[in-house]
Structure 1
């Protein structure tokens, strides 16, 4: 059974993915990092086969959230989506 937070998180994820709005690169990185922390926690993985600058920035954004509780990451993700998709 999904919690209210899980439902809000899924809704925010859907809204962010289905928008036609282009997000600034720094916003995209923050969304990515919060999403990964919310869904994977501190279980960091980096695919060396696709090692490029873009993936390095994404990994760096995620690893900066090390130790953040998964529910806190969900709340931050929801808050960020709500602030940019009014």
Structure 2
């Protein structure tokens, strides 16, 4: 008989495994996705290095240049923030 590969039974739960069977599958899945994004490294708006880490709720800091800035709770740049930044840049270009 051919040998089968052994693999983990079920899904890999990641950081939401600490909840065990509580709260439901979809809530644990959402928590897992949010924590993956918030704990990942992001690009710095000042030096363009991928070294930005979350310090606290909405506080982000680049480990390379030390730039500390406010952003979204789970991501440094939210879609609303992108729109606002674009609008500000356009307004500044019209004045100049």
Taking structure 1 as the reference length, what is the TM-score of the superposition?
Answer: 0.30
Q: In terms of Rg, which structure is larger?
A: 2
Q: Which has the higher helix share?
A: 1
Q: Which has the higher contact order (CA 8 A, sep 6+)?
A: 1
Q: Which has the higher strand share?
A: 2
Taking structure 2 as the reference length, what is the TM-score of the superposition?
Answer: 0.27
